[in-house]
Structure 1
């Protein structure tokens, strides 16, 4: 599948925390999403190519989850980006904290609230052109 220009493969690794003082490359997300020229999630490109916007959650000791990056109305700032692993289930979503406002560039940080309601911070370790 050939993706439109602007689609990036974004790798997030768990940032330093009390449980992981050095962070962890074994916990994180790989996101396939369109970014605008400033490195923000591109809502218009997402609307045009929703099925191509994917997320893979990898967490040491757990099954890898594959899902979609979804933009929903509501939440802080008027909308929320979520990771949806099963469109039929209401309880598997993970919400990004103000993901629409963040720049996705190596060295930046983003936060995600997991399905249990726990907030985790992740470091953007790479942003590459999607093949």
Structure 2
């Protein structure tokens, strides 16, 4: 099993300043996937140190972190010593990372925002 690079971009989020979405905001995630596109939890346990995330937006510097899991809760972690910066991922264990699928990430302000999977590329 190898890792995959997953790029998610901000989808339409009615009722927010991102009602029309924003292709310049999103996440680039490195994680192991099963053949059907779900996070492979067994491989994740082995490759956890290689499971990274980069948050990008036009009005801020890119921020690097890790994909992390505590119990059944998945989240993006940008500082292991500070839980306040964690960005939870809604039901990540159930999401399929395939083109056109949607993933909800709760941002640093506590807002759940929807992102669309735009790229899934196996890494060699």
* TM-score normalised over the length of structure 1: 0.88
Deviates more, 1:33-42 or 1:21-30: 21-30
Residue of structure 1 aligned with 2:10, choices 14, 25, 28: 14
Aligned length: 122
Other structure's SS at 1:122 match: strand
Q: In the aligned structure 2, how far is the partner of 1:21 from the partner of 1:55? A: 24
Does 1:86 pair with 2:79?
yes
CA distances 1:18-65 after superposition (whole Å, capped 9, x unpaired): 333442111100000000111100111011011100000002211211
Equivalence map 1:50-89=2 (5 Å)? 50-73=48-71, 79-89=72-82
Residue of structure 2 aligned with 1:117, choices 103, 106, 110: 110
CA contact (8 A) 1:6 1:36 kept: no
Over 6 Å off, 4+ runs: none
**Structure 2 stretches lacking a partner, 5+ long:** none
The root-mean-square deviation of aligned C-alpha atoms, in Å, is 1.1
Shift of residue 102 of structure 1? Answer: 0.5
**Structure 1 stretches lacking a partner, 5+ long:** 74-78
Q: In the aligned structure 2, how far is the partner of 1:105 from the partner of 1:128? A: 10
Other structure's SS at 1:56 match: strand
Other structure's SS at 1:45 match: helix
